[in-house]
């Protein structure tokens, strides 16, 4: 190999191929682990000698007994539901584990895994479990198990794999009633072609950026959040700006993870204000203002009211900063708080909207 460009292309090809292979292996291992955990929970609930001792609090006891990440009660419920929704994955799991992990399995577990999948659980033209493990992250499967109707779920399995949809795209298609629209369309094939053409395929390597994967690998969950360089720089400088104001701001977290329902969300910056005795949630959007951003921040505030606020605390508030190409916009979010109270008490201690706007505008010119 004498040509330098050929050398570079060869190295890049080797890197890309092995990275994709590693990513796929991690994703499959995570999905198999979650299926197995779900299986063991169901088996214990049905046949465990001391199952009555734990009853409905079984998942709570498991979560308390396992300090590792990924074993919250919410996650354990998902693993159990994953197993009951996709029991047909069992044979594929058995094949995978016989190849890779057989020496690590107890005899009882191995026997549990080698049971043949009942034929009535298979759909003749359905997605093979092996293909599912290859193509979908566990986050994809979390969205799919929410669909109770088998035929509808199968439809999204096929379309998701065909279109290599991201989790966000899968959610969007479900929410846009793609299945229902396909059913009433005079030309479902044309609708499918149009839908696929309007989506951007997700790179295989993106599967490893999944929140469940970060938990599985023991990595900091905040690193799972994708930020542009501009967003990251703005948030870093904004954090410093707020702390330098000296008005009682104490930083609690950057990219604070919260769980609402069965979905994870990340708040850009969370402060506790010593003088106001409340949490201040800050969200920055490198985009034009839209009401969805304000609604999302209000959801975070309501979550903090119900789950985080302590006795003696005042209601949390939010600050939404939106950057456009030419200017910044600042909006305070109060989620139902009395406006007279907000104006009379909170605004005396918080930075003025004009101060924040000037700060963001100056940063945009520098960055």
Quote the pLDDT of residue 325.
59
Quote the pLDDT of residue 108.
47
Quote the pLDDT of residue 103.
45
Domains of the chain: 4-211 (no CATH), 225-366 (3.90.1570)
Pairing of strands 263-273, 278-285: antiparallel
Quote the pLDDT of residue 185.
58
Give strand ranges (E) for the chain. 249-260, 263-273, 278-285, 317-323, 328-333
- Residue ranges in the chain modelled with pLDDT below 50: 99, 101-105, 108-125
Close Cβ partners of 294 (under 8 Å, ≥ 6 residues apart): 320, 331, 333
CA 220 → CA 25, 209, 212, 234, distances in Å?
A: 20, 11, 11, 21
Q: Which two tokens stand for residue 31?
A: 């999905």
Quote the pLDDT of residue 190.
60
Quote the CA–CA distance of 23 and 232 in Å, as a whole number.
Answer: 25
**Composition of the chain by helix, strand, coil, percent to 5:** 60, 10, 25
- 3-state DSSP call for residue 103? helix
Quote the pLDDT of residue 141.
94
Give tens-digit pLDDT for 69-109: 788 888 899 999 999 999 888 777 666 655 454 444 455 44
Q: Which two tokens stand for residue 183?
A: 């059913």
Quote the pLDDT of residue 236.
85
Quote the pLDDT of residue 23.
77
Lookup result for tokens 């046949």: 47
Q: Which two tokens stand for residue 286?
A: 């490198």
Residues 167 and 209 sit within 8 Å (Cβ to Cβ): no
Quote the CA–CA distance of 312 and 315 in Å, as a whole number.
Answer: 10
Quote the CA–CA distance of 99 and 76 in Å, as a whole number.
Answer: 26
Residue ranges of the alpha helices (H) in 86-228?
A: 89-100, 107-113, 129-135, 138-144, 150-163, 167-175, 178-184, 188-197, 211-217
């Amino acid at each position: 190999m004498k040509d330098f460009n050929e050398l570079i292309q060869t190295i890049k090809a080797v890197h890309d191929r092995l990275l994709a292979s590693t990513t796929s292996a991690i994703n499959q291992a995570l999905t198999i682990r979650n299926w197995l955990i779900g299986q063991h929970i169901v088996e214990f609930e049905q046949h465990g000698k001391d199952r009555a001792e734990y009853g409905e609090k079984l998942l709570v006891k498991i979560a308390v007994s396992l300090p590792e990440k990924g074993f919250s009660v919410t996650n354990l419920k998902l693993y159990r539901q994953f197993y009951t929704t996709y029991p047909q994955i069992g044979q594929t799991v058995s094949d995978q584990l016989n190849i890779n992990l057989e020496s690590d399995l107890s005899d009882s577990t191995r026997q549990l895994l080698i049971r043949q999948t009942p034929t009535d659980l298979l759909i003749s033209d359905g997605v093979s479990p092996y293909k599912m493990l290859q193509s979908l992250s566990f986050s994809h499967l979390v969205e799919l198990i929410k669909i109770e109707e088998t035929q509808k779920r199968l439809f999204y399995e096929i379309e998701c794999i065909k279109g290599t949809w991201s989790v966000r795209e899968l959610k969007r298609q479900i929410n846009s009633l793609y299945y229902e629209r396909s059913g009433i369309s005079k030309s479902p094939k044309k609708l499918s072609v149009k839908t696929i053409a309007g989506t951007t395929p997700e790179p295989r390597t993106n599967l490893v950026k999944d929140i469940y994967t970060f938990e599985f690998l023991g990595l900091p969950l905040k690193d799972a959040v994708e930020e542009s360089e501009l967003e990251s720089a703005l948030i870093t400088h904004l954090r410093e700006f707020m702390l330098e104001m000296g008005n009682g701001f104490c930083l609690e977290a950057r990219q604070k993870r919260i769980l609402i329902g069965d979905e994870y969300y990340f708040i850009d910056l969370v402060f506790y204000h010593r003088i106001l005795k409340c949490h201040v949630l800050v969200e920055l959007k490198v985009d034009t203002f839209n009401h969805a951003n304000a609604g999302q921040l209000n959801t975070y505030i309501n979550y903090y009211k119900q789950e985080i606020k302590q006795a003696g605390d005042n209601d949390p508030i939010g600050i939404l900063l939106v950057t456009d190409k030419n200017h910044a916009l600042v909006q305070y979010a109060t989620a139902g708080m009395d406006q007279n109270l907000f104006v009379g008490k909170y605004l005396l201690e918080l930075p003025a909207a004009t101060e924040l706007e000037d700060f963001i505008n100056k940063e945009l010119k520098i960055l």
